[in-house]
Amino acid sequence: MKRHPHFFLILIPLLILSCEVRFAPDVRVQVKGMIISDTGEPISDAQISVYTRRSSGGYINAPGPLGTDDYLLGRNYSNQDGTFEVTSLFDRDEDFSIVVFNENNYTNYSYTTSTVDYVPENLTFDLETLTLDRVATIDYNFTRTSVEGNTFQYIFNFRDTACLEYYVEGVVDSGLSYCYQNRTLNRTLNDNRPDIAGRFSSPYATVVDFTYSINEQDPITQTFTIDQDNYEFTFSY
């Protein structure tokens, strides 16, 4: 797909009419940086989007179609060498975010801040070098091969694929940020549903804890490392 060489701006009239945005007149900000993978390779065609607040006051942590583009202020894509520049409208708001998104191949990154009383130096948000981890898909399948009446409880513990850094006047606030936090996925199988198949995503090289219990006996924990793009995990009880 052919990209515009520099940037494009989006301003939807309904945005001005439907919520209290405070655009600085004739002011544009620049977002720049470089995106590389966890192996050090540049990531091209990653989507970099600048958002302001939704009418609900929540953060937009994903671009359309996962999120919404109603409050999109500017967007561009990374170059072959991983560098990017976006020129965007500037909204004075508590919820100002820059989202880096590359479909399902890599983790997602969000830079979030309040611009009510903060204007970046030289009107530039320099994200410097961002490292996105490769993302793998884990397909699991549990099958009951024993007699009816046996139950099976399981829990997966793994890392999330999202990273949000919250900045206060240009300095990251670790207390309001979260990156690749632990997540759990659990369920109990019984006669009503003895088998199940599903999937989840996690960064490459994540060590997954799999804990299970049969008929409410003492739980057993196994671990495995995600070392391929599509990891298959099967278990019979």
DSSP letter for each residue of 197-232: EEEEEEETT-EEEEEEEETT---EEEEEE--SSEEE
Q: 180 versus 21: which is more confidently predicted? A: 180
Other CB atoms within 10 A of residue 31 CB: 25
Domain architecture of the chain: domains with CATH = 8-132 (2.60.40.10), 135-236 (2.60.40)
Q: What is the pLDDT of residue 197?
A: 98
| pLDDT, tens digit (0-9, with 9 covering 90-100), for 37-69 | 999 999 999 999 999 874 433 333 444 434 567
CA dihedral 34, 205, 98, 121 (to 10 degrees): -50
Mean residue pLDDT of the chain comes to: 87
Q: What is the pLDDT of residue 23?
A: 61
Q: What is the pLDDT of residue 25?
A: 66
Residue 228, pLDDT > 60, answer: yes
Which helix (H) or strand (E) element contains residue 138? Answer: strand 135-143
54: its two tokens: 């939704």
